[in-house]
Structure 1
Amino acid sequence: MTTTSARGGPRRPARPPRRVYVIRRLVVLGVPLALLGLLVVWLAGRGGDAPTDARPSSTTSARPTPSPTPTAPAAADELTAVEEAALAAGVSVCAGDLVRVTIKATAETFADKNPSFSIKVANTGEEACLLDAGDGNRRLVIRSGGDTVFSTTHCRPAEPEGKPLLLGPGMASKETYTWRRVRSAQGCEQGLAAPGAGTYTATLEVAGVEASPTTFTLG
């Protein structure tokens, strides 16, 4: 039902709080339902969009007791997207030494199809954490000897889209990446010669964590 304000105009519906957008985003990205349920319960219990001041509300007193001035939180524009998402979810950003990244070619030889790779990002810690695995925080490179044939950073947009992953303790995110068998160069140069038959190596780095390379052959 539409309500009116004191001035007679229609009152705009209240915007959903930040936690609603965070939950929707994590659902789209495939967060495990059990962990998402815990996240919803946590946010409902907090009942706010951001952490509140830990100091008690002021009350009338003849002699109020002064309390220490808390350290001011960092401004929102000083936080990265993944830090803001982690803050809203009530978890920390995944520490690099607790993240394990792996990449493996799905076949030894690719004769008549595009090479594909199984990618896994795992949280080896004992607490849930959030990690950005988007193109701005990930680099996949394919080489043939000393020749860099392809890199995801060569033709990356100025503001690549993030991909926050909420990982529970011991949990991993899995995906398959397909290389379209094209050569790339810095500056997104087009019309380069297609890679020929031979042996290639693919390496992957996510959030500063490197995976062991995987080797494959193009037929």
Structure 2
Amino acid sequence: MIKIRVDIEEKLKILLEETLEYKFIEKEELEEEIFLIDISRENLLEKIKDSAKKNIPVIVLLGKENIREMRKLLKLEYIEDCVLRQDIFELEEAIEKILQNKKNYKEFYLNDTYQRGIVEISEVIYITYCRVSRKTEIHLFTDKIFTVKSSFSEVEEKIIKIKDFYKLDRGTIINISLIRSLDYKEERIIFKDETYIYTSKAKLKELEEKRLLSFGKIIL
């Protein structure tokens, strides 16, 4: 059974257990799939960030009076969704959407007019929109560029929930698992195959903070 860790009022927990077919737990477990927390709980942001470090999707429950706070939370990109406390069916939809996105896909099937290709997700360094050709380009670890028919927004919608991909700007998505270093002096991201893309210092800082690149590593 799908395990969802909760930090909510006991009455609501009982209601969810009676209504939805998931196992709601209060203590951390290795198999937990989602963290559900009420916006009124203490140390809210700290708990959300802690789950984000562990790649556990977060849903925040709130009231209609919390719309302003909801907007601030969504901008942080640490949470997957915000749902009204009383809307059990919307909550179920949010949970199912997260579970669907967490399917362990390992390969892309790349589709273009003149070629087809199967590549592992780990081979994709970054994805860009080319303004000249007006097509989406998939940059691979093999130094090959694969152009696909899908628009950039279509590609983004399909892959952005894969934990290793991060939208750097309006036309660039990068694979953070293939980053070797962030070069603040030259304002660029250097990947493990020594290719690089230029960006701004602000974007580098944003990437470092939002995706917690140092988590789980020895900091020297």
TM-score by length of 1: 0.22
Pick the structure with greater CA Rg. 1
TM-score by length of 2: 0.22
| Structure number with higher helix proportion | 2
Structure showing greater relative contact order (alpha-carbon pairs closer than 8 Å, 6 or more residues apart)? 1
